[in-house]
């Protein structure tokens, strides 16, 4: 078992955690399903009957807005024979109807009709509901988790004080998905340090002041912050805040803009990153340029992460020492994982 050590003595996580099927299974069930994460902009479920379909770990979920304006979340798994009660995002639905055999549910998840079940003995539709999950709305974003774990306020504790009320006027403007052939943690590890910036992202290094990059860690999140001193014209002057909220949500906050990312594992050695873009109205004109820039940075990260995945799974790599100056975010994230793996080993 990897030990938790002070950063001055710490090494990276053992490579077996990036390739073992049992670890991956544990992570999807007990870390990625149960951890609070951003699943959508609130604008996508703003009206009565609006639905989004997503995945938490391996669990398909839906989040919806009832006609009374209440946000609810359920497993997107029909209690009959596991069909999907919604197949895609939709606006203004009146009910949920399973795509497999047509059982229908109201927005409280209660079964309301089940065709051709009259002859089934002791079949009580009133006792059949979709399984509900926890959902929250926060600063224009929708968060969800299924199962037990730290409560929402504990997870985001302290973030509100740092970001203030500046996100209030941001408007959701679109999403992009990126696929990367690496374990989900390789992507997170890479996000968590600016150490690689001068080597992997020479363009980004011109825009953010790498020399003043500071990392702070809290219980369930870490933050890299840097003043923006942009010669490229891509960013307005101000400060860049990069949060990773354990396990798999990132908030990238820049003056007048926010980009949220969520890492969704799609296999032991693959993941998908959801990007949602938000702008203040006066900054919205930057969107096209931003997306071009983000595509470039993303491609640079994809290439390096895919190389790292190969190195980690080569069978010959041994964990290397971390830089106390530059990798405290990686150390913090990997320590949260080490604690989770300890729980796994104790089961
Ligand atoms: S699985 Fe949903 S109606 Fe059969
Ligand atoms: Fe990067």
- What's the mean pLDDT when you consider all of the chain? 94
Ligand 1: nearest atom to the Cα of 78:
2
Residue 164 burial (10 A CB sphere; 0-12, 13-18, 19+)? exposed
Measured between alpha carbons, how far is 93 from 77 in angstroms, rounded to an integer? 18
Domain boundaries defined on the chain: 7-19+165-346, 37-141
Ligand 2 centroid–CA 137 distance in Å is: 29
Mean pLDDT of 44-70: 97
Ligand nearest to the CA of 76: 1
Ligand nearest to the CA of 252: 2
What count of Cα atoms within 13 Å lies in the side-chain half-sphere of residue 29? 9
Could you tell which of 62, 74, 77, 83 is best to mutate to test the pocket of ligand 1, judged by most ligand atoms within 8 Å of the CB?
83
Q: Is the backbone peptide bond immediately before 215 cis, with ω within 30 degrees of 0?
A: no
pLDDT band at 346 (very low <50, low <70, confident <90, very high): confident
Ligand 1: nearest atom to the Cα of 82:
1
Measured between alpha carbons, how far is 248 from 42 in angstroms, rounded to an integer? 18
What architecture is domain 7-19+165-346? Answer: Alpha-Beta Complex (3.90)
Ligand 2 centroid–CA 297 distance in Å is: 6
Does the domain at 37-141 match CATH 2.102.10.10? Answer given as yes
CA dihedral 18, 24, 30, 34 (to 10 degrees): 80
Angle (deg, nearest 10), helices 328-346 and 184-191: 150
Measured between alpha carbons, how far is 209 from 207 in angstroms, rounded to an integer? 7
- How far from chain centre, in Å, is Cα 167? 18
Query: Cα separations (Å) of 157 from 113, 244, 331?
Result: 43, 13, 20
Nearest CA to 2 out of 304, 337, 347 is that of 337
Segment among 11-25, 103-117, 280-294, 322-336 with least mean pLDDT: 280-294
Q: Are 170 and 279 in contact (CB under 8 A)?
A: yes
DSSP label at 129?
B
What pLDDT sits at residue 213?
Answer: 83
Q: Are 123 and 116 in contact (CB under 8 A)?
A: no
Ligand 2 centroid–CA 107 distance in Å is: 41
Nearest CA to ligand 1 atom 3: 101
Token couple for 34:
């149960």
Instruction: Reply yes or no on whether the pLDDT at 173 is more than 60.
Output: yes
Q: Are 58 and 77 in contact (CB under 8 A)?
A: no
Nearest CA to 108 out of 154, 65, 44 is that of 65
Ligand 1 centroid–CA 73 distance in Å is: 19
Token couple for 298:
């993303």
Ligand nearest to the CA of 86: 1
Region of residue 27 (phi > 0: left; psi between -120 and 50: alpha; otherwise: beta): alpha
Ligand 2 centroid–CA 63 distance in Å is: 31
Residues with CB under 6 A from ligand 1: 78, 80-83, 98, 100-103
Has this prediction a pTM greater than 0.85? yes
What count of Cα atoms within 13 Å lies in the side-chain half-sphere of residue 160? 9
What pLDDT sits at residue 32?
Answer: 97
Tell me the residues surrounding ligand 2 (ion) with CB < 5 Å: 301
Ligand 1 centroid–CA 209 distance in Å is: 55
The predicted-structure confidence for 180-205, as pLDDT tens digits, reads as follows 999 999 999 999 999 999 999 988 77
3-state secondary structure of 63: strand
pLDDT band at 230 (very low <50, low <70, confident <90, very high): low
């Amino acid at each position: 078992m990897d030990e938790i050590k002070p950063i001055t003595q710490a090494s990276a996580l053992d490579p077996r955690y990036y390739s073992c099927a049992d670890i991956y299974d544990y992570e999807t069930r007990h870390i990625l399903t149960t951890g609070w994460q951003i699943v959508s902009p609130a604008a996508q479920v703003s009206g009565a009957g609006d639905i989004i379909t997503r995945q938490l770990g391996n669990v398909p979920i839906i989040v919806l807005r009832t006609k009374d304006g209440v946000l609810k979340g359920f497993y997107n798994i029909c209690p009959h024979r596991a069909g999907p009660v919604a197949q895609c995002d939709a606006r203004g639905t009146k009910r949920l109807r399973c795509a497999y055999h047509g059982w229908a549910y109201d927005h409280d998840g209660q079964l309301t009709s089940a065709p051709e079940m009259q002859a089934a003995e002791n079949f009580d539709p009133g006792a059949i509901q979709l399984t509900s999950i926890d959902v929250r709305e926060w600063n224009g974003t929708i968060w969800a988790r299924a199962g037990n774990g730290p409560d929402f306020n504990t997870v985001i504790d302290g973030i509100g004080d740092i970001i203030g009320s500046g996100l209030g006027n941001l408007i959701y403007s679109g999403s992009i998905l990126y696929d990367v052939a690496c374990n989900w943690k390789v992507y997170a590890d890479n996000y968590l340090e600016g150490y690689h910036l001068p080597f992997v992202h020479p363009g980004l290094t011109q825009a953010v002041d790498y020399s003043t990059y500071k990392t702070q860690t809290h219980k369930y999140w870490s933050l890299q912050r840097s003043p923006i001193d942009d010669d490229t014209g891509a960013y307005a002057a101000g400060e860049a805040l990069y949060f990773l909220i354990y396990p798999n949500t990132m908030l990238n906050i820049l003056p007048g803009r926010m980009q949220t990312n969520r890492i969704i594992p799609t296999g032991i050695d693959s993941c998908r990153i959801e990007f949602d873009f938000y702008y203040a109205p006066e900054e919205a004109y930057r969107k096209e340029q931003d997306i071009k820039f983000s595509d470039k940075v993303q491609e640079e990260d994809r290439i390096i992460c895919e190389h790292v995945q190969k190195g980690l799974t080569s069978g010959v790599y041994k964990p290397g020492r971390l830089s106390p100056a530059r990798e405290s975010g990686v150390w913090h994230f990997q320590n949260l994982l080490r604690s989770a793996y300890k729980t796994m080993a104790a089961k």
